[in-house]
Amino acid sequence: MNLYNIYCRLFQKVMFVGTHLLNWSFPKIIKGQGSVKEIPGILASHGIDNVIVVTDPGLTKLGLPDGMLAALKDAGIAYTVFDSVQANPTVDNVEAARAEYISAGCKGIIAFGGGSPMDCAKTMGARIVRPKKSVQQLAGLLKIRRKLPFMIAVPTTAGTGSETTLAAVITDSATHEKFPINDTHLLPAYAVLDPELTVGLPKKITSTTGMDALTHAVEAYIGSSNTKQTAEKAVEATQLIFKYLERAYNEGSDIEAREQMLLASHYAGIAFTRAYVGYVHSIAHALGGLYGVPHGLANSVILPVMLDWYGKSAYKRLAQLASAVGIQGGSDEEKAKLFISDIRAMNKRMDIPEKFDFIKEEDIEFIVTRALHEANPLYPVPKIMDRADCAAVVRSLMA
């Protein structure tokens, strides 16, 4: 092991010890069909009568927030809808949402949507309590350190787990850099898991967000910063995804499958927000920032490739996940490879591509720099990459 690898491992051990000193107050879960209608009562019980709803234009066009907005109106709770969040939310999105919050005199936040509205809402909340710090200055670890305005997170996809994570990822549109903000104060107070909101999801969104959740669970589980809770949640999430994702994909109105996938995403979120992720995410973030590829799609394609690269360093943990989902095999290596093969087969059955046709050779050094800057030394991956390793993996993703 070279000196840089030793430095990374020491940094990760210090971070792991440090996580035990943080306040891990995960959101209170409200779940079940129609649970979104409980939001006005939750707000009233906390003395909040004016909120901003952060969402995206696609969800507004579909009318997905309408039932919740009607319930807020009936309860006499004022609301402002900010629905300009982009697929990869930008600093400009955050600042525009913050201006709306202040202008309307809001007292609370409802993050309604997938990972993008969640990330925008969280970062907006951080900017509200840290008005003298720019979004860029909040990037990294524990830069907020103040309680955010009361926040309810309502996921409309079963994938990001953002309703239960300490992370937000924002893009600087000027530099195309995608950077994470990590602080336990970003954890929402409540998570409302209403499967009715996910019934109308297109098959493509169902598949890629579901594989995003699987990526969270797998990367958390094979890393070296697990606690008993994160390991258990990662296994539960993996089992639920293997059982219910394709059901939700093939039959979008299957309420049981939709509800179980929301739980899977939530459990995976609990796992990775404390145990971290790995190189799948750092490469996906680099590709998302540069090319605008949706995060769930990027993770779906990169996951099996990255697991292959980890090789024997991940076999034992992958074999345990394989056993958890009922895969039979002899050695750890055999079961791990069967697990990876099953992921590829799931992707194929859900029409997820094996490679990308947009990666340019001249961008590879830039992608590598961004990916490794995010991942090293923080992410407790099974095996540490250098620049040549990362470049080889990125090239293997090219169609």
pLDDT tens for each residue of 274-284: 999 999 999 99
Residue 20 has pLDDT above 90, yes or no: no
The answer on 178 and 30 residing in a single domain is yes
CA distance 212 to 81: 27
Judged by DSSP in three states, 252 sits in: coil
Q: Would you say the pTM of this structure is higher than 0.95?
A: no
Q: Which domain holds residue 223?
A: 202-396
Burial of 96 (0-12, 13-18, 19+ CB in 10 A): middle
Specify the pLDDT at position 200: 84
Look at residue 15 and tell me if it is in a domain. Answer: no
Match 């491992």 to its residue by tokens.
9
Q: Are 167 and 138 within 8 A, CB to CB?
A: no
* pLDDT number for residue 180: 86
Q: Let me know if residue 3 belongs to a domain.
A: no
**156 and 289 in a common domain:** no
Contact 278, 225 (CB under 8 A): no
Torsion-angle region of residue 276: left (phi > 0), alpha (psi -120 to 50) or beta?
left
Residue range 314-335, pLDDT digits in tens: 999 999 999 999 999 889 999 9
Percent of the chain at pLDDT above 90? 91
Q: Do 164 and 210 sit in the same domain of this protein?
A: no
Q: How confident is the model at residue 96 (pLDDT cuts 50, 70, 90)?
A: very high
Residue 120 has pLDDT above 80, yes or no: yes
Assigned domain for 12 exists: no
Q: What is the pLDDT of residue 268?
A: 97
Q: Are residues 364 and 383 in the same domain?
A: yes
CA-to-CA distance for 333 and 207, rounded, in angstroms? Answer: 27
Fill in the amino acid letter for 348.
K
- pLDDT for 1: 73
Say which DSSP state 51 is in: E
Q: Are residues 230 and 181 in the same domain?
A: no
pLDDT, tens digit, 9 for 90 and up, residues 165-218: 999 999 998 888 888 899 999 999 999 999 999 998 899 999 999 999 999 999
Residue where the block lists tokens 């991940």 = 314
DSSP conformation class of 149: S
| Closest to 351 in 3D by CA, of 244, 253, 207 | 207
Domain boundary among 129, 163, 198: 198
Does residue 186 lie in a domain region?
A: yes
Q: Where residue 48 sits, what CATH number does that domain have? A: 3.40.50.1970
Q: What does the pLDDT average to over 5-31?
A: 92
Cα–Cα dist 350/365, whole Å: 31
211 and 97 assigned to the same domain: no
Q: What is the dihedral of CA 195, 209, 326, 306, to 10 degrees?
A: -160
Instruction: Convert 220-258 to b/e letters by CB count within 10 Å (16 or more is b).
Output: bbbbebbeeebbebbbbbbbbbbebbbebbeebebeebb
**88 with 184, same domain?**
yes
Please report whether residue 124 resides in a domain. yes
In a domain, 8, yes or no: no
Mean pLDDT of 288-293: 91
Tell me the longest C-alpha to C-alpha distance in the chain: 63
